[in-house]
Amino acid sequence: MARLRDLAKKPSPLTSGHRACSGCAFPQVARQVLLAADTPVVVVIATGCMEVATTIFPYTAWQVPWMHCAFENAASTLSGIEAAYRALKKRGVLDKDIRFVAFGGDGGTYDIGLQALSGALERGHRLLYVCYDNQAYMNTGIQRSGATPTYAYTTTSPAGKVIPGKTQKRKDLTEIVVAHDIPYVAQSTPAHWNDLITKVQKALAVDGPSFINVLQPCRLGWTFEADMAIELARLAVDTCFWPLYEVVNGEYRLTYRPKEKKPIEEWLKLQRRFRHLFTPENRHLIDELQAEVDRKWERLLKKCGLA
């Protein structure tokens, strides 16, 4: 178990002066992931909030080697870096052990970057891909993505007089990654820092690809009070909307089970993107969302051998 006091002695991998929104939660994801590493890390980031807010030339908040290439290709760019690392080691011009981490938002991972991610996982590069999933294209102004939950308002799935937000289901990227049969896959959140850090350490220890899907509440896109990001990540887990689990060599394990499963409504009501559901004519949609959470939770428990 990581001790914060030990982590706090490390140099900050993502320092102050970056321009993420006040109350954002992606910096905590990046810091927790990188603080977990005991071996030097090289980072590649897909185009998105985490990239634009942290590196506005000549200002960079990163204190680790860092690279951005484009939106859909963080995984393939990092593949090339990892291949170069192996080649340079083989040639004897590099002797250090280095680990490789990619960060991509849900747009850059679930949608436009899915092919590059799948290819990198299939090829077996030793890299960790962390998706910071804020459930929409937040960087371009809150457009719907494959990760946007059903009935959420976004600027391209607005709630209107006849359509109550996004009517399609959320893509389950974690399960798609599991289907690649890679050594380590997990879900976590920055609220569960010890869970996330432990998972990163496990991921970096495997000799092959690993993937962690991290739910990152977005103050702007989900629309909540500035101090609520961590609490909303916690509630997503306690309502079983975003279970904390890991899949190690194909074996499922729940890493945290809420003592009491909270109703999804408790999570929804704190976010303005779901506000349109709290009208008399739309309340049945909340019931529908609850049924969906229950169905997926039961399915996960079965996979974990807990049903």
**Window 244-303: residues binding another protein (CB under 8 A):** none
Residue among 34, 50, 85, 145 that touches another protein (CB under 8 A): 85
Count Cβ atoms within 10 A of the Cβ of residue 5 and give its class: 0-12 exposed, 13-18 middle, 19 or more buried: exposed
**Residue 211 found at the interface with another protein (CB under 8 A):** no
Give CA–CA dist 238/260, Å, rounded: 7
**Residue 28 found at the interface with another protein (CB under 8 A):** yes
Residue among 59, 168, 295, 302 that touches another protein (CB under 8 A): 59
Give the distance from CA 252 to its chain's centroid.
Answer: 18
Instruction: Kindly tell me which of 40 and 250 has the beta carbon lying closer to another protein.
Output: 40
**Residue 69 found at the interface with another protein (CB under 8 A):** yes
Compute the CA torsion angle 120, 122, 126, 132 (nearest 10 deg): 50
**Residue 161 found at the interface with another protein (CB under 8 A):** no
Give CA–CA dist 304/55, Å, rounded: 41
Residue among 98, 206, 220, 248 that touches another protein (CB under 8 A): 98
The footprint of another protein on residues 118-137 (CB under 8 A) is: 118-119, 122-123
Taking the complex as a whole, the smallest distance from the CB of residue 99 to another protein amounts, in Å, to 10
- Structure tokens of 115? 């092919």
- The answer to whether the beta carbons of residues 236 and 265 sit under 8 Å apart is no
**Residue 8 found at the interface with another protein (CB under 8 A):** yes
Size of the site for another protein (CB under 8 A): 82
Instruction: Kindly tell me which of 5 and 259 has the beta carbon lying closer to another protein.
Output: 5
Count Cβ atoms within 10 A of the Cβ of residue 266 and give its class: 0-12 exposed, 13-18 middle, 19 or more buried: exposed
> Which alpha helices (H) appear in the chain, and where do they start and end?
4-7, 26-35, 49-52, 74-90, 106, 114-123, 173-178, 193-205, 229-238, 264-268, 283-303
- Helix, strand, or coil (residue 87): helix
Residue among 19, 261, 299, 302 that touches another protein (CB under 8 A): 19
Residue among 33, 34, 42, 159 that touches another protein (CB under 8 A): 42
Binding segment for another protein (CB under 8 A), chosen from 79-87, 160-168, 173-181, 275-283, is 79-87
Binding segment for another protein (CB under 8 A), chosen from 3-11, 154-162, 168-176, 205-213, is 3-11
